């Protein structure tokens, strides 16, 4: 993979950055725009409120739709374009989807997704894509137009919530994460707590992620995400995991995962007054927040503002990062396509430039 040459002494800056964050109790976040490309999906997870469950609710955003979101987000100071979509929508039971793609001038979702990433780059934003299961070749097709990519492992267990979801087989998700490592793609993954797994499953899932990172060194963060029941889904009457269970998951994650892998707790999915408790247990990242769009996976849970986050995490210091974590900026794990943008947006330690 062609990489941008680093303009830093990587070892020195990396150590200094880590030391400063520990000394100042630093917690990171990213300003992004959440772009839900399509809600057509081949999976049918029992907890999902994002997937279109009837034809009249299905959509595919046009390039004009995406451009409006990108330009609004850029004016608001966002730097990350988060592209999320249903997995392999061409394989879904929704025939009109392929004709929608044709009307936009594309033969496949993958081609369209790459074009949208290029559009984001043109608007001076760094793409991060989460498109579900992707093959090695598909990942390679997208890697030079993405600063980072992601796929939630969710759980290594076979749970009833995934019975109608061919893309949620743990071995397939682990293969995609491994292939991303082979391609040196900075990667986000995580677990979904409360979908029928046991605590030993949580431990096993974290250990599986650890093994992949030890082999490839590409995992930048692991999200500990709580299940939240959604109306009109089979799991609508299930209870979400308790704060205590989430805290236990964060604590065990910090013991299992290498120190360089950040643990993310979504700040819109836990009570703000308890956010600091997770940081004290080892969480160090709050993910992306948007001033422009909802969290379309959990639309009932509003993003906190940067000011609200800064207050909630005190005495921890809030620091903005790129979708590409600082150590990967320093190592030059980005393509020539993104080189100028990464350098423009990052400071000497690999964080977001405060004067940008």
Q: Which domain holds residue 234?
A: 30-345
What is the average pLDDT score of the chain? 93
Give the pLDDT score at 6.
Answer: 35
pLDDT, averaged per 10 consecutive residues of the chain (356 residues), comes to 35 44 77 98 97 94 98 97 98 94 97 98 98 98 98 98 98 98 98 98 98 98 98 97 98 98 97 95 97 96 96 96 98 98 97 85
Q: Report the CATH number that the domain containing residue 306 is assigned in CATH.
A: 3.20.20.70
Q: Tokens 């999976």 — which residue? A: 43
**Domain contains 300:** yes
Question: For the chain, how many structural domains are there in total?
Answer: 1
DSSP string spanning 222-269?
EEEEE----TTSTTTTSPPPPHHHHHHHHHHHHHHS-TTSEEE--TTS
* Cβ neighbours of residue 102 closer than 8 Å, sequence gap 6 or more: none
Number of helices followed by number of strands (H, E) in the chain: 12, 9
Residue 186: closest CA among 228, 135, 106, 126: 126
pTM score, whole prediction: 0.93
**Domain contains 185:** yes
**Domain contains 354:** no
Encoding tokens for residue 150?
């992601």
Distance, in Å, from the CA atom of 342 to the CA atom of 63, rounded to the nearest integer, reads 24
Give the pLDDT score at 163.
Answer: 97
Q: How many C-beta atoms surround the C-beta of residue 216 within 10 A?
A: 18
**Domain contains 43:** yes
**Domain contains 35:** yes
**Domain contains 184:** yes
Each residue's pLDDT tens digit, 96-155: 999 999 999 999 999 999 999 999 999 999 999 999 999 999 999 999 999 999 999 999
**Domain contains 74:** yes
**Domain contains 12:** no
Maximum Cα interatomic distance, the chain, rounded to a whole number of Å: 55
């Amino acid at each position: 993979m062609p990489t941008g040459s680093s303009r830093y002494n990587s070892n020195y800056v990396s150590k200094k950055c880590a030391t400063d964050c520990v000394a100042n109790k630093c917690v990171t976040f990213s300003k992004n725009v959440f772009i839900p490309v399509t809600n057509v999906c081949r999976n049918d997870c029992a907890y999902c409120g994002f997937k279109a469950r009837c034809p009249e609710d299905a959509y595919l955003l046009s390039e004009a739709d995406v451009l409006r979101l990108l330009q609004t987000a850029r004016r608001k100071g966002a730097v990350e374009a988060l592209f999320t979509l249903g997995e392999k929508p061409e394989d879904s039971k929704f025939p009109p989807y392929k004709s929608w793609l044709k009307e936009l001038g594309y033969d496949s979702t993958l081609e369209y997704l790459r074009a949208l990433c290029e559009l984001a780059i043109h608007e001076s934003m760094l793409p991060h894509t989460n498109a579900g299961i992707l093959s090695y070749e598909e990942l390679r097709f997208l890697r030079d137009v993405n600063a980072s990519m992601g796929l939630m492992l969710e759980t290594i267990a076979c749970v009833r919530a995934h019975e109608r979801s061919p893309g949620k087989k743990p071995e397939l998700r682990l293969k995609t994460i491994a292939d991303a490592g082979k391609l040196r793609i900075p990667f986000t993954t995580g677990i979904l707590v409360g979908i029928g797994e046991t605590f030993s499953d949580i431990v096993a899932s974290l250990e599986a992620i650890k093994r992949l990172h030890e082999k490839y060194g590409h995992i930048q963060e692991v999200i500990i995400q709580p299940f939240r029941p959604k109306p009109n889904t089979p799991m609508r009457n299930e209870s979400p995991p308790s704060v205590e269970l989430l805290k236990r998951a964060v604590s065990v994650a910090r013991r299992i995962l290498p120190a360089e892998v950040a643990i993310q707790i979504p700040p819109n999915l836990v009570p703000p007054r308890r956010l600091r408790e997770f940081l004290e247990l080892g969480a160090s990242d709050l993910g992306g927040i948007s001033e422009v769009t909802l969290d379309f996976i959990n639309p009932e849970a509003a993003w906190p503002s940067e000011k609200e986050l800064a207050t909630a995490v005190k005495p921890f210091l809030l620091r903005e990062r790129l979708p590409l974590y600082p150590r990967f900026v320093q190592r030059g794990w980005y393509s020539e396509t993104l080189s100028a943008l990464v350098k423009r947006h990052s400071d000497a330690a690999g964080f977001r430039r405060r004067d940008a």
